[in-house]
Amino acid sequence: MSAIKKVVLAYSGGLDTSVILKWLQEEYQCEVVTFTADLGQGEEVEPARAKAQAMGVKDIFIEDVREEFVRDFVFPMFRANTVYEGEYLLGTSIARPLIAKRLVEIANETGADAISHGATGKGNDQVRFELGAYALKPGVKVIAPWREWDLNSREKLMSYAETHGIPVDFAKNKKKSPYSMDANLLHISYEGGGLEDPWWGAEEDMWRWSVSPENAPDQAEEIVIGYEKGDPVSINGERLSPANLLLKLNQLGGKHGIGRLDLVENRYVGMKSRGCYETPGGTIMLRAHRAIESITLDREVAHLKDELMPRYASLIYNGYWWSPERRMMQTMIDASQERVNGEVRLRLYKGNVIVDGRRSERDSLFSASIATFEDDQGAYNQKDAEGFIKLNALRMRIAAGRG
């Protein structure tokens, strides 16, 4: 008899997690609680309720966490201008700590002994889910079916579903994408299929949110994003909630072919992986945030942030959102944003985000009277530069003197 009496499963309602649900019931002889998160993936999550009920699940949690996701995870990450390996905006990575948090919270609420997820033993998500769970509930038991069972192909999963009467007609009748996809309000990722050959070019109809830059409008569109303490709060003067603001930027970016990425990345488990990503709103936010910081951040603060960002990005990519070092870095990053207030004007045009202006009435460090090429009325004494240069050259002059 299994020591596990109740387990909370991260449940999408798709083939994989439906099979996992039944497998947990059969293998562990335990009660299964399901958790389905609406992260803005663009698909209805409510049908998961009927599927879970049909399989005997009594405790079903279906939650709209879009605002929490953007406010408490996406925005804090973007305050750091976070990019992994120079390109990836971490759309999948940043959603996992929120899911892990809710799995643990629901386990506490329902008295469950364990949590379970559908991540495979080859990917990063298993690490992200489990590191988060252990950080928040040290004694939690984690069940990862892909590391235990032998159902290692779609054919075996379908056969198991048919044998056990699992309702998967939805998977048969709908047109199935050849890719493994993950979507939320920040991005869509595509992996597998032809993308496993890094020389193979993705077909145009793979992309869901954006037109190709070639087919984008021939006229640029101008927008103004307002910032308060490092977070975007308005578009063209209209204040929006975090989730609605990102949704609007996704629509604008997708319309203009912005945010497509084809990347070979280094997974935490050691292998290289090729994926394609659509992050239209995030691409706009990154450019706009750097623009408003350019006039409001002290030089050394800005440079220190840039030095620390790759480490911060790796922590998120590798699943350490709930670690003490990430929390410590976040405190520093958030402190740097206290005076990052103002507006950025952008032009969106055929895959490009073009900064066209930035201003901050109260917090700008830009002084036209000092930076001007015209007469500065004595605001800056150019003779001061001579001593500055000689002092900074001193060590090189001494070294050169050795011959």
Q: Which residues carry out catalysis?
A: 16, 96, 125, 180
Query: Judging by DSSP bridges, how do beta strands 114-116 and 141-143 pair with one another?
Result: parallel
Token pair recorded at residue 99 = 């899911």
Give yes or no for a contact between 167 and 309, defined as CB atoms under 8 angstroms apart: no
Q: Whose CA is closest to 151, among 160, 143, 142?
A: 160
SS (H, E, C) the chain: CCCCCEEEEECCCCHHHHHHHHHHHHHHCCEEEEEEEECCCCCCCCHHHHHHHHCCCCCEEEEECHHHHHHHHHHHHHHCCCCECCCECCCCHHHHHHHHHHHHHHHHHHCCCEEECCCCCCCCHHHHHHHHHHHHCCCCEEECHHHCCCCCCHHHHHHHHHHCCCCCHHHHHCCCCCCEEEECCCCEEEECHHHHCCCCCCCHHHCCCCCCHHHCCCCCEEEEEEEECCEEEEECCEECCHHHHHHHHHHHHHHCCCCEEEEEEECCCCCEEEEEEECHHHHHHHHHHHHHHHHHCCHHHHHHHHHHHHHHHHHHHHCCCCCHHHHHHHHHHHHHCCCCCEEEEEEEECCEEEEEEEECCCCCCCCHHHHCCCCCCCCCCCCHHHHHHHHHHHHHHHHHCCC
CA-based nearest residue to 211, from 278, 283, 274: 278
Longest dimension (CA), the chain: 86
**Half-sphere exposure for 126 (CA within 13 Å, toward CB):** 15
> Taking the mean position of all CA atoms in its chain, how far away is CA 66?
13
